[in-house]
Structure 1
Amino acid sequence: MSVKTVESSLWRLPAIRQLVLLTLLGFTGFAATLASLPWWAVHRGASPTAAGLVTTVMLGVTVVVQFLVPVVERRLGTGRTLAIGVFALGAPSPMYLVSTDLAPMLVVSAVRGIGFGVLTVLGASLTAVLAPPGRHGEAVGLYGLAIAAPNLLVVPGAVALAQNVAFWPVVVLATCPVLAVPSALAIGGGRRPRVAHEKAGHRQAALAAVLPSVVLLTITLAGGGVTTYLPIERPSGLLATLVLVLFGLTAALGRWRVGRLADRAGTRLLLPGTVALGVVGLAALAAGLWQGMNILLLAGAAVFGIAYGAVQNLTLVAAFARARGRGVSTVSAVWNAAFDTGTGIGAVVVGALAATGMGVPMALGVCAGLIAVCLPLAVMASSARHVPGGRDHQA
């Protein structure tokens, strides 16, 4: 069977197509405000440190909700739970235009965080349920591409719209998840999938997901700092947009293409290797900001983007492999909680470090050091290897 046939066959599954569509719409709404809303808050008078709270509050609520999603799904089924989630993510967005004070922004972000928590847990867990045997890495890659595409286009595009046009087009994009309600109902219908009924092994599944999730948290922490403070540190609309586009593009390619490699070779070498690549890329990005070298800044963003995307895919595959089929929704909840915790606290951690006098470039350099410290954890986290044929074993 040709590579082309293997890749295209996943698109013949209606549920995969619905999952990709729902993910695109849902993450478009999330990405629209990820970098532009902190900029908007600063533009309306908030301090840079306080502006990071709009991301932190949303993702803080998201993390809390993520651990409750498996319980809600068992009661309502996948379709209705997803529909409620995407509606909650998109519908409150126009309220950002009602008041430009920070407190109302935080309230709206908190409500949206509820919906984002539902979307992230069920989207990731459905990759394990819908993927054919031996194709989980590839399914995660397609799911990751649907996440990365909005990060590539919408994150920098929303910044450009906010800085050069107005903020209301950003709000329109942030409302897009409402359009995903029909897809949410279609993918789940009235059924409760196997993943929703798993009750045994949740504690073991959570423990199995811890190491990959810690590795994920460190790199998403750095990514949250980059996306939040790059537009503030480099207010030139063209440069900030170009760097974010490059970061998003390479992250999309890394997260998408590494999936097939994981299915063939496992994560034992891939995960530590991509973590090390992330250290190099983030250090170069920080040095480019510090020295004002735009070429180094762009190169660092590209390299860090590849690692940022690849580590996301590989840690999810590794977490499911370590759990050996137990508590799929629990694995997804732990992994997503780490992802969103990292992104959320990154906005505050980088801002707090920068406020001490070291500045944003040095704060990102500290983040690169933190990722380097996690290299041994990446080796241990990838000890379970996913192989073709749908079997997971110890490497």
Structure 2
Amino acid sequence: MPSRAAPHARESVLRDRSFLLLLVATLGAFSGYVLLLPVVPLWAVTGGSGEVAAGATNGVFMLITVLTQLFMPWSLRRVDHRVALGVGTLLIGVPTPLFAVSTELWPLLAVSGVRGVGFGMLTVTGSALVAELVPAAQRGRATGLYGLAVGLPNAVLLPVGVWLARYVGFELLFWVAGALPVAAAGAAFGIARVPRRTPEAGPGRSSPFPVSLLSPWLVMLAVSIAAGGLVAFLPLAVADAVSPVALLAFGVATVGFRWVAGQLGDRFGSRWIPLPSAAIACLGLVVVALAATGPAWAAVPGALGLGAGFGALQNATLVLMFDRADSATASTAWNIAYDAGNGLGSVGFGAVVAAADHPTTFTAAAVLVACGVPVTVAIARRRS
């Protein structure tokens, strides 16, 4: 039976000023991040760096991001959340125009590293503020709206950044991509102060990574690996005319179903979301594997299925982690599963493709996600 929501659960989270400011800050910061995600490697290549060296710009960015995320639970117990969010947002934007100074690899890596520190602060603090600013009964919907602020720049601005670099110029784009987070930092500093909290006492809650987080963390990691591999290798596995449509379907489904899962989670309970979501993601990967052998158009519904499962799992696993640990620890664990999973997906898919072929690789990813289904059953059975 559906759980009976508290009266305030029906109120719109958009009435909360601080939560609205969080969405504005997130949208601006992620816009500055996404615009340059494919552009910085392209800028490095124009300066004579090889493709491997150019790819290192994003690799260093993500490495520093994850290392920063590891320190965020400690930091957020000592630093005001709005200060951490504002400083992180500024670190994404302020150094960005320095990309225009040189196309040499080492300066690009240095700027990317500073921006990675900011992105690590942004991702953990932003997710943690969702739990801090809204009542527990509204976390599903709030997480869904936060997911829209994160996902819309990814869905819209990835191709826009490349287009602007080619037709407007790299230098102007660097200034625009820097200005957006700097402007968004004003909204971050306007968020209400969050009281400092100490970790709750209880079994598993005093450890840096409570055991209670392991099951949703594993599910999130598995599907993030599959999603990261799909984004990196789908264009190589199917026809050029199909892959952009399939990736668009994946992106739209990811954003949309993260929001849908929030609505359903607040009404029925987030613990019921992972099982059908993992099953849909697994089925989508099977269809993509079939598309890699033909017909190629099947990659579109396959990518749509993976995106739907991935988006729903993003919402459900984050809300479940909030229920099991303090907001900073839960947010850190979730973001590491997401970011590390995407990185492992790119590297792991490349290794399997080199040893076998694309259909085998996508099938292996489906098996990986299927291995998490028993974990989702355990999540559904758990009541606390």
What is the TM-score with the length of structure 2 in the denominator? 0.85
Q: Which amino acid aligns with 1:333?
A: T
Q: Which amino acid aligns with 1:210?
A: L
8 Å contact 1:38–1:228 — kept in the other structure? no
Equivalent position of 1:369 in the other structure: 367
8 Å contact 1:28–1:173 — kept in the other structure? no
Percent of aligned pairs with the same residue? 35
- In structure 1, stretches of 5+ residues that fail to align are 385-392
Equivalent position of 1:388 in the other structure: none
Equivalent position of 2:213 in the other structure: 209
8 Å contact 2:293–2:359 — kept in the other structure? no
Q: How does 1:145-156 map to 2 (within 5 A)?
A: 145-156=148-159
For the residue of structure 2 that corresponds to 1:274, the secondary structure is helix
8 Å contact 2:140–2:270 — kept in the other structure? no
| Counterpart pick for 1:305 among 300, 304, 307 | 307
Please say which of residues 153-162 and 302-311 is displaced more in the overlay.
Answer: 153-162
TM-fit CA distance, 1:36: 4.9
Change (3 A) 1:292 1:16: same
TM-fit CA distance, 1:108: 2.8
- In structure 2, stretches of 5+ residues that fail to align are 1-7
| Counterpart pick for 1:125 among 128, 135, 140 | 128
Structure 1 distance, partners of 2:236, 2:43, is 10
Q: Which amino acid aligns with 1:81?
A: A
8 Å contact 1:351–1:360 — kept in the other structure? no
Q: Which amino acid aligns with 2:299?
A: L
Q: How does 1:280-295 map to 2 (within 5 A)?
A: 280-288=283-291, 290-291=292-293, 293-295=295-297
Q: Which amino acid aligns with 2:191?
A: I
Deviations for 1:194-216, whole angstroms, at most 9, x for unmatched residues?
A: 4x444643428632222211111
Structure 2 distance, partners of 1:167, 1:287, is 39
8 Å contact 2:227–2:342 — kept in the other structure? yes
Q: Which amino acid aligns with 2:93?
A: G
What is the TM-score with the length of structure 1 in the denominator? 0.83
Equivalent position of 1:381 in the other structure: 379
1:184 aligns with 2:188: yes
TM-fit CA distance, 1:135: 1.1
For the residue of structure 2 that corresponds to 1:187, the secondary structure is coil
TM-fit CA distance, 1:192: 4.2
Q: How does 1:1-395 map to 2 (within 5 A)?
A: 9-37=12-40, 52-161=55-164, 167=170, 171-172=174-175, 174-175=177-178, 176-188=180-192, 191-194=193-196, 196-198=197-199, 200=201, 201-203=205-207, 206-230=210-234, 236=240, 240-288=243-291, 290-291=292-293, 293-321=295-323, 323=324, 326-354=325-353, 356-360=354-358, 362-384=360-382, 393-394=383-384
For the residue of structure 2 that corresponds to 1:307, the secondary structure is helix
8 Å contact 1:93–1:174 — kept in the other structure? yes
Equivalent position of 2:3 in the other structure: none
8 Å contact 1:318–1:382 — kept in the other structure? no
Q: How many aligned positions are there?
A: 373
CA RMSD of aligned residues (A): 3.0
Structure 2 distance, partners of 1:353, 1:45, is 30
Change (3 A) 1:192 1:346: same
TM-fit CA distance, 1:159: 4.5
Structure 2 distance, partners of 1:359, 1:96, is 37
Q: Which amino acid aligns with 1:112?
A: R
Change (3 A) 1:247 1:44: farther
Change (3 A) 1:374 1:137: same
8 Å contact 1:48–1:351 — kept in the other structure? no
8 Å contact 2:9–2:137 — kept in the other structure? no
Q: Which amino acid aligns with 2:210?
A: A
8 Å contact 2:219–2:372 — kept in the other structure? yes
Q: Which amino acid aligns with 1:291?
A: T
Q: Which amino acid aligns with 1:183?
A: A
Structure 1 distance, partners of 2:46, 2:294, is 23
Structure 1 distance, partners of 2:213, 2:57, is 28
Change (3 A) 1:364 1:36: farther
Structure 2 distance, partners of 1:280, 1:250, is 15
Structure 2 distance, partners of 1:52, 1:362, is 25
Change (3 A) 1:345 1:167: farther
Structure 1 distance, partners of 2:33, 2:176, is 9
Q: Which amino acid aligns with 1:312?
A: Q
8 Å contact 1:49–1:348 — kept in the other structure? no
For the residue of structure 2 that corresponds to 1:275, the secondary structure is helix
Change (3 A) 1:135 1:6: closer
